[in-house]
A and B are shown apart, each in its own frame.
Chain A
Amino acid sequence: MLFDNLDLEVREGDVVELTGPNGSGKTTLLRCLAGLTADFDGVVRHAGAFSYVGHRGGLNLQLTPLQNLRWSAAIEGTDASTSTLSAMLDAVGLAGYELTPCQQLSAGQQRRAALARLQFRDAQLWLLDEPLTALDEAGCALVRQLLERHCAAGGAAVCATHQPLRVAAARACVLGRAA
């Protein structure tokens, strides 16, 4: 069993930092919250829509960041013009790379491209699995900025992470093997 008696309430403006050693169940908990796993006893209640960015980012590497983002927009049911989508890629520091196939981008740039889709979608809750992986200083700052904006606008986030997020509103939830 990974966790027992887990009670986690996420309110508007909350950033929950899920930490714990490898194998402690951070990803599993996120997948439970996203509804990708039903292999647990208990209840998950959502007040609104959520966005999930897993450790596999959800990018097709043969497509360009723009094509990936356009696909995300379409399946998430948001209407966005090419110029809007380009602006979103600009915002995550991918200006000039919109039309480069993702496989030619670095790991950090791919992560940025994956995070770009957090900008659309009126999702109240973000479920992020290791959002800082492969990101440089500026990239980490960008994630922090995205999170702070999101929370200021009444959103909330649950992030599984090993690196500290350093978001002011963050509260920690430490998973681990109980003694």
Chain B
Amino acid sequence: MSAIAFARSPSSGRAFVAQLQRDLTITFRSRADFVNPLMFYVIGIALFPLGVGPGPDRLALIAPGVLWVLALLSTLLSLDALFRRDYDDGTLEQLVLNVDPLFVGVLAKVSAHWLVTGLPLALLSPIAALMLFLPGSAVGALVLSLLIGTPILSLLGAVGAALTVSLKRGGLLLTLIVLPLYVPVLILGAGAVTAAVDGLDPTPQLTWLAAIFALMLTLTPFAAALALRVGLE
């Protein structure tokens, strides 16, 4: 074998792109990871007309809350795998050792997670809204609130997933850590949709969501990176 000399020139941008590309490739290789949360979302929504009764008025009343609660639960369902598989196969160690600053790698993983869970959920939500007789005038607010809100769910979830990465059965603990943090997002998201249903302007709630998103985008990658380092010990 020939000795190949390489210059080491770490670049955060390249690490980000490579990590994002890798995670997306893996997700499309194992389609179950990608499809499960979406199936859970649609099936969960489909159960409500059966449980509550098919009356359009009653369903429309609970639709904003149900649509958001299920988006939250399906995100939660997908979180456990965020760092767990990388932890099990040793790639997480490599990420921690090589990507400096580590939050870039975390941000890439969270972005990939959102692209394959939050984004499809938001795009799928108009169909789910149809099943619950959500008034057409509120569908825009629903999609928009999910587009702004689901990245927050992925970002906050990453902190929980990082904290529980070394636990064999961290699922329940992850839920306990993350769910309370999700409450404001749920209230604002469902609030935006309800406002639109009532013919009010959903902008205030959406603006609050956007503000929370900006805050979480700057804080949670650091927190998750720190939690990963601790989790690997």
Chain A interface residues toward B at CB < 8 A: 34-39, 49, 52, 54-63, 67, 70-72, 74-80, 84, 87-88, 91, 101, 119-122, 145, 149, 153
**A76 and B10 form a contact (CB under 8 A):** yes
The smallest beta-carbon distance between A129 and chain B, in angstroms, is 10
Select from chain A the residue with minimum beta-carbon distance to B11: A77
**A58 and B18 form a contact (CB under 8 A):** no
The reply on B52 being an interface residue by CB < 8 A is no
**B8 and A75 form a contact (CB under 8 A):** no
User: With a CB–CB cut-off of 8 A, which chain A residues contact B233?
Assistant: 36-39
The reply on B5 being an interface residue by CB < 8 A is yes
Q: Give the residue of B3, B15, B26, B30 whose beta carbon is less than 8 angstroms from that of A75.
A: B15
Q: Give the residue of B2, B18, B26, B86 whose beta carbon is less than 8 angstroms from that of A74.
A: B18
User: With a CB–CB cut-off of 8 A, which chain A residues contact B5?
Assistant: 122
User: With a CB–CB cut-off of 8 A, which chain A residues contact B25?
Assistant: 63, 67
**A59 and B14 form a contact (CB under 8 A):** no
Q: Give the residue of A54, A62, A70 whose beta carbon is less than 8 angstroms from that of B30.
A: A62
The smallest beta-carbon distance between A166 and chain B, in angstroms, is 19
**A75 and B105 form a contact (CB under 8 A):** yes
Q: How long is the Cα–Cα vector from A61 to B29 in the complex, in angstroms?
A: 11
The majority secondary structure among interface residues of chain A is: loop
**B8 and A58 form a contact (CB under 8 A):** no
Contacts across chains A and B counted by CB atoms under 8 Å: 105
User: With a CB–CB cut-off of 8 A, which chain B residues contact A67?
Assistant: 22, 25
Select from chain A the residue with minimum beta-carbon distance to B230: A38
**B94 and A72 form a contact (CB under 8 A):** yes
The smallest beta-carbon distance between A51 and chain B, in angstroms, is 9
Q: How long is the Cα–Cα vector from A61 to B91 in the complex, in angstroms?
A: 10
**B99 and A62 form a contact (CB under 8 A):** no
Sample (8) of A-B pairs whose CB atoms are under 8 Å apart: A60-B86, A62-B29, A63-B25, A71-B19, A77-B10, A78-B8, A87-B2, A101-B29
Given contacts A58-B93, A59-B91, A71-B18, contact A49 B8 (CB under 8 A): yes
Which B8-34 residues have a C-beta within 8 angstroms of A? 8-11, 14-15, 17-19, 22, 25-26, 29-30
User: With a CB–CB cut-off of 8 A, which chain A residues contact B88?
Assistant: 56
**A75 and B6 form a contact (CB under 8 A):** no
**A63 and B26 form a contact (CB under 8 A):** yes
User: With a CB–CB cut-off of 8 A, which chain A residues contact B18?
Assistant: 70-71, 74-75
